[in-house]
C-alpha cells in the first residue's frame, strides 16, 4: 500500500464531482478505502433515532467520504500535486508546482 499524499488537517480543493471547485479542510483520511472526509463537502442527510447521545433524534447533516483522487492539495492559494523526496535522512512531502517542502 502506498503512502497517502493527503493528510488530516490539509487544505484541499475538490477537482471532480458535485462539489467541484470547493475548498475545505481534511477531517479524516481512510487509507484502506483511499477516501477522505472534507469539512463542508459532500454533505449527506442522515435520519437518526433518539438515543442517549441525541435525545430527540431527527435529521443530521454530515460529510460523506470522497475518493482521494478527487482532491488536490492547496499550497499558497493554488492547487498543486504532491510528491515525496528525501531531505537528508527524512522523507518529506513537497509541492510539485514550487518545489517547496510542505512538512
Length of the chain: 103
Place of cell 499550497: 75
Task: Please give the average per-residue pLDDT across 74-98, as a whole number.
Answer: 94
The CATH number of the domain covering residues in 11-77: 2.30.30.30
When the pLDDT of each residue in the chain is averaged and rounded to a whole number, the result is: 93
pLDDT in tens, 14-51: 999 999 999 999 999 999 999 999 999 999 999 999 99
Measured CA to CA, the distance from residue 101 to residue 12 in angstroms comes to 17
Cα–Cα distance, 39 to 37 (Å, whole number): 7
Q: Where are the beta strands (DSSP E) in the chain?
A: 11-14, 23-30, 35-38, 43-48, 58-63, 66-67, 71-75, 78-80, 82-87, 90-95
Whether the pTM exceeds 0.75: the reply is: yes
Q: Does residue 1 register a pLDDT over 60?
A: no
Amino acid at each position: 500500500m502506498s503512502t497517502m499524499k493527503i493528510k488530516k488537517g490539509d487544505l484541499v480543493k475538490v477537482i471532480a464531482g458535485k462539489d467541484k471547485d470547493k475548498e475545505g479542510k481534511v477531517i479524516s483520511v481512510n487509507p484502506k478505502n483511499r477516501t477522505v472526509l472534507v469539512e463542508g463537502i459532500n454533505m449527506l442527510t442522515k435520519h437518526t433515532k433518539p438515543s442517549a447521545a441525541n435525545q430527540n433524534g431527527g435529521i443530521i447533516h454530515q460529510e460523506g467520504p470522497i475518493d482521494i483522487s478527487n482532491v488536490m492539495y492547496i499550497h499558497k492559494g493554488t492547487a498543486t500535486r504532491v510528491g515525496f523526496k528525501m531531505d537528508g535522512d527524512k522523507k518529506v512531502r513537497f509541492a510539485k508546482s514550487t518545489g517547496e517542502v510542505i512538512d
